[in-house]
Amino acid sequence: MDTLRNKTIYAESYGCTFNHADTEKIIALAERQGCVQVPAEEAECIIINTCTVVGATERTMLRRICSYAGKEIVVTGCMPVVQRDLLLETDPSLHLILPEDMYARCPEVGAMTDPHTGVVQTGTGCLGSCSYCITRAARGPLKSFSAEAIVAEVERLAAQGAYEIQLTGQDVSAWGMDIGQDLAYLLEQIAGAKGDFRLRVGMMNPATAGRIIDRLAPAFVHEKIFGFVHLPVQSGSDAVLASMNRGYTSAVFEAVVAAFRAEIPDVRVSTDIIAGFPTEGCREFDETLEMLDRVRPTKVNITRFSVRDGTPAALLHDLPDWVKKERSRALTHLTDRIYDEGNLRWIGRELPVLVTEQRKSGSVIARDATYQNIVIKEEFPLGTRLQVKVTGHHRHYLLAEPV
Q: Using H for helix, E for strand and C for coil, what is the string for 269-334?
A: EEEEEEECCCCCCHHHHHHHHHHHHHHCCCEEEEEECCCCCCCHHHHCCCCCHHHHHHHHHHHHHH
Find all residues with CB under 8 Å of 65, minimum gap 6, and list them: 48, 73, 75, 87, 90, 91, 94
Domain positions in the chain are 8-102, 109-344, 350-402
What number does CATH give the domain 109-344? Answer: 3.80.30.20
Given the candidates 3.65.10.10, 3.40.50.12160, 1.10.1060.10, 3.30.530.20, the CATH classification of the domain at 8-102 is: 3.40.50.12160
* pLDDT at position 383: 87
Which residues of the chain have a pLDDT value below 70?
A: none
* pLDDT at position 316: 97
* pLDDT at position 3: 87
Given the candidates 3.30.230.10, 3.90.45.10, 2.40.50.140, 1.10.620.20, the CATH classification of the domain at 350-402 is: 2.40.50.140
Yes or no: say if 132 and 316 are a contact pair by the CB < 8 Å rule: no
Hey, do 109-344 and 350-402 end up sharing a CATH topology, with the first three levels equal? no
Rounded to a whole number of angstroms, the CA Rg of the chain reads 21
Q: What is the dihedral of CA 198, 202, 206, 212, to 10 degrees?
A: -50
Which tens digit of pLDDT belongs to each residue from 46-55? Answer: 999 999 999 9
CA pair distance 55, 34, nearest whole angstrom: 36
* pLDDT at position 82: 94
* Amino acid identity, position 119: V
DSSP 145: P
Yes or no: say if 291 and 254 are a contact pair by the CB < 8 Å rule: yes
Q: Rounded to two decimals, what is the model's pTM?
A: 0.94
Q: Is 245 exposed, middle or buried (0-12, 13-18, 19+ CB in 10 A)?
A: middle
CA pair distance 85, 88, nearest whole angstrom: 5
* pLDDT at position 261: 98
CA pair distance 65, 350, nearest whole angstrom: 48
CA 257, chain centre distance (Å)? 18
* pLDDT at position 115: 85
Tally Cβ neighbours within 10 Å of residue 380.
16
